[in-house]
Amino acid sequence: MNNNDNLAKIVAIEGMVLLKNEDNLLPIKDKTNIALFGSGARFTIKGGTGSGEVNVFHSVSIEEGLKNHGFIINSEYYLDECANKLNNEIKKRKKLMRKSTRGVNPFNYEVMFSIFAKFPEHYAIDRELTIEDYNKTISDTCIYVISRQAGEGFDRKNTKGDYYLTDIEEHNLKFVTEHYKNVIVIINAGAPIDTNFIDKYNIKSVVLYGQAGQSGGDALAELLLGESNFSGKLTLSWPKHLEDLNNFKYYSYLDGNDSIEEYKDGIYVGYRYYDSFGIKPMFPFGYGLSYTKFNINNDLYIENNEIIIKSNVKNIGNYKGKEVIQVYSRPINFDNKEFQSLIGFKKTKLLDINEEEELILNINLENLASYHEDIHSFVIDKGYYEICIGNSSDNLTPIKNLYIKEDIILDKHTIINDKPIEFDEIKPLIHEKFNDSLDIIEINSFNKINKEIEKEDINLDIVNNINDLDLCKMVVGRIAFKTYSSAGVVGEYPTTYNKYNIPIIYMADGPAGLRLAKEYYHYRNGMNKGVSVLPKEFIESKLFYAIVNKIMSFSLKKRRKLYTTAFPSALMQAQSFDLPLIYKIGEHVKNEMIKYNIDIWLAPGMNIIKNPLCGRTFEYYSEDPLISGLMASSLSNGVSSNNSNKTVCFKHFCCNNQENNRMKTTSNVSERALHEIYLRGFKIAILNGSSKAIMTSYNKLNGIYTNSNKNLLDGYLRNDLAFKGIIMTDWNDVAPDQAIGYEVINAGNDIIMIGGKNIYNDLYDALNNNKLDKDALKTSVARLANFAINLKNDKK
């Protein structure tokens, strides 16, 4: 096993979640006779589709991982049948894509991608099991794999075969529980599915495999055998019924209107909703089982504006294991706050049997604050806050009450939307009551640190000799099918920068790793080109694309191979609750960026998961902004470690919480919900991380495209948070009936990704007609140029 496989496997082990283990069915005691069913057993899905996918030559399936660890599979005939059906299903998918793209402009990438997203590469190759299958596989143990796929461009469907089980899966689960003594269900999906089948068929053991990257099969095998122990915790509540969610009524396409998304749930997203409205999810936020048990003793005191938690964690079970300490605040008797919110967490080391460890958590009191729209500031409101500690949001022990004697007003923020929202937000039903059995710590003072905002110092001298047309060219990025970077880079600075001796910056996609071409041609002049330059869906959908791809990728050169690491999805990474591990992922990707000449990694995705039907749920960390912000900051610090010249790009800023109609929809959000939920993760990541780039989202925010929102970009990002990096649009975001180029630059967005002659000519016309602010244009080019020079000069 190489280092790529090893770290990817470790992340998968830490991120998988044991959802149920009745009668201690796991670990598996006998691996010599296993019935393995479900289409995902052999055709395991390693990651989601779209820009979040990472191209690798091989990923370890569940079947392969089990065999690698000595499992004897007696149902290979069934898996072979599935394989034989696969080719026909692939042909069906290609036929559907060709039919759906008839009459569509082949140059409209966004429309094409949205069509492809309706047909994810998940094939119905399972069949109904019969008594003949049981007779062929007589065994005590059956493992059944349920797989789902989703991705960029289209939200999931609340139908059978997507969120719900197919009729065949229902039949098969009923069958295996009636015939096999021990049934283990593996969920190979990047987002929640309907899990009412667990109680319906009395499934004893359920594992959330997730989308576990290139080494997931080996990781699962180690966990099932007890060679490793489960320690993953959910960063996303799993609903018992989709209808339980308030936003189910209007999310994305569900209300028949995906053009306007009213965030009526306000701050009550995820567990904040469940807990504040007394609704029980199927699996709560922070939940995850282990083979062992822990005893936790806690102490709490206040020091220098911080809540100091000392947790002594002892392994009192029969297996080595890790535990995650989670700290929550419960505001007492407030009628406008969530029932509880996560304010801190930490994971233990691997504890041997009877071993203990003291964890110390330093939690800033600012985590208790709420946003007050009337004064545009976060405020720690006067009153009582019960601090609870445990290992999931529904398994907590109250420790002490904090009493804030007077309102503490924190930093003031730019008004992003000065118009009141035109809908009513929901109001909480459940509030924590005062517990007089707890000790009270009174906080009489707060040493507010007046943070000096260091103004951005932009050297404009670098643009003084650049003519106006070139200035316009320099704020329009491009995709190059031949590049001095690695084949498969998704974007780079335009070649105009070379004219002024400014380095070109190269960008790669893939939040689960670098998304580059697996095979490429290398030329004497140092340039590289992919063996296939267009996405395979394009090639399969239209003869036009197939011909264009052949012409563009033709070469007499010998093919070369490029190896990157496909880590588990971001959601799985977050389920590890292990910030040092996320830092290691960043370090690893940094080394690959150095090797393959990549400057900006377009990751991580930081959008809050509002609803499990979001097509890119797998690509985001959590429904909770603290988790999202801390995970992103750790990843960014890993990429920038040892003074490297590499950086991540936090995305998609902000409120890109649905995929349907993402280029046109408006996310209408109150200022309070915006600051407490949807901006907070970005704020945490910017203040604690080291990203030098941010990508705006496709959608509008309260009617204004995020990439054209001056209050959001120049106001909130650059002034309030003192962000000094570059800001880019999402790809193909400036187009007819979408964002307007000069408005994007005027608002503080530095580079339009991607574009060509039509866009920079439009900018030039706008400049000559006084629509494009020349100072804003020069500032953007200077920022981009200085960014490139500093990044390349910092290279070690």
- Over the stretch 101-154, which tens digit does the pLDDT of each residue have? 877 776 666 677 677 767 766 667 899 999 999 999 989 999 999 999 999 989
Distance from C-alpha of 631 to C-alpha of 610, rounded to nearest angstrom: 18
What pLDDT, on the 0 to 100 scale, is given for residue 466? 97
Lowest mean pLDDT among 12-21, 392-401, 520-529: 520-529
On the question of pLDDT at 5 being above 80, the answer is no
Report which of residues 535 and 762 the model is more confident about. 762
Name the pLDDT band for 449 (thresholds 50, 70, 90).
low
On the question of pLDDT at 441 being above 70, the answer is yes
What pLDDT, on the 0 to 100 scale, is given for residue 787? 94
Residue 485: which residues within 8 A CB-CB, separation 6 or more?
492, 506, 528, 596, 597, 598
Lowest mean pLDDT among 49-53, 273-277, 315-319, 557-561: 49-53
Give the torsion through C-alpha atoms of 550, 552, 557, 563, to 10 deg.
-90
Q: pLDDT, tens digit, for every residue of 660-684?
A: 999 999 999 999 999 999 999 999 9
Secondary structure (3-state) at 307: strand
Name the pLDDT band for 78 (thresholds 50, 70, 90).
very high
For residue 761 the two structure tokens come to 């000519």
Residue 636: which residues within 8 A CB-CB, separation 6 or more?
586, 647, 648, 650, 685, 689, 690, 691
For residue 335 the two structure tokens come to 């009628």
Distance from C-alpha of 614 to C-alpha of 699, rounded to nearest angstrom: 14
Phi, psi of 295 (to 5 degrees): -110, 130
**Neighbour count for residue 314 (Cβ, 10 Å):** 18
Distance from C-alpha of 385 to C-alpha of 268, rounded to nearest angstrom: 18
For residue 413 the two structure tokens come to 């923020």
Mean pLDDT throughout 530-539? 79
- The answer to whether 158 and 254 have CB atoms below 8 angstroms apart is yes
Partner residues linked to 203 by β-bridges: none
Buried b (16+ CB within 10 A) or exposed e, 112-127: bbbbbbebbbbbebbb
Q: pLDDT, tens digit, for every residue of 176-194?
A: 999 999 999 999 999 999 9
The fraction of the chain above a pLDDT of 90, given in percent, is: 83
- The answer to whether 485 and 596 have CB atoms below 8 angstroms apart is yes
On the question of pLDDT at 453 being above 70, the answer is no
Distance from C-alpha of 26 to C-alpha of 20, rounded to nearest angstrom: 10
Distance from C-alpha of 407 to C-alpha of 372, rounded to nearest angstrom: 11
What pLDDT, on the 0 to 100 scale, is given for residue 550? 84
Q: How far is CA 517 from the centre of its chain?
A: 22
Name the pLDDT band for 791 (thresholds 50, 70, 90).
confident
Name the pLDDT band for 543 (thresholds 50, 70, 90).
confident
Mean pLDDT score across all residues of the chain: 94
Run of H or E residues at 395: strand 395-404
**Neighbour count for residue 110 (Cβ, 10 Å):** 17
Helices assigned H by DSSP within 62-179: 62-68, 76-100, 109-116, 131-136, 167-179
Secondary structure (3-state) at 122: coil
Distance from C-alpha of 18 to C-alpha of 228, rounded to nearest angstrom: 12
What pLDDT, on the 0 to 100 scale, is given for residue 4? 65
Rg (CA), the chain: 26
CA distances from 411 to 78, 372, 446, 675 (A): 62, 11, 13, 12
Lowest mean pLDDT among 96-110, 233-247, 323-337, 377-391: 96-110
Which amino acid appears at position 293 of this protein? Answer: K
Lowest mean pLDDT among 5-9, 552-556, 727-731: 552-556
Report which of residues 229 and 429 the model is more confident about. 229
On the CB side of 616, CA atoms within 13 Å amount to: 28
What pLDDT, on the 0 to 100 scale, is given for residue 541? 79
Q: How far is CA 95 from the centre of its chain?
A: 31
Distance from C-alpha of 553 to C-alpha of 571, rounded to nearest angstrom: 35
Phi, psi of 590 (to 5 degrees): -55, -45
Run of H or E residues at 15: helix 3-15
Question: In the chain, what is the straight-line distance between the N-terminal and C-terminal CA atoms, in Å?
Answer: 29
Q: pLDDT, tens digit, for every residue of 479-511?
A: 988 999 999 999 999 999 999 999 999 999 988
On the question of pLDDT at 779 being above 60, the answer is yes
Q: pLDDT, tens digit, for every residue of 717-737?
A: 999 999 999 999 999 999 999
Which amino acid appears at position 150 of this protein? Answer: A
Distance from C-alpha of 455 to C-alpha of 457, rounded to nearest angstrom: 6
Give the pairing type, strands 395-404 and 440-443.
parallel
On the CB side of 400, CA atoms within 13 Å amount to: 17
Distance from C-alpha of 775 to C-alpha of 565, rounded to nearest angstrom: 42
What pLDDT, on the 0 to 100 scale, is given for residue 110? 66
What pLDDT, on the 0 to 100 scale, is given for residue 553? 80
- The answer to whether 35 and 71 have CB atoms below 8 angstroms apart is no
At residue 634's C-alpha, the angle toward residues 629 and 631, to 5°, is 40
Which amino acid appears at position 328 of this protein? Answer: Y
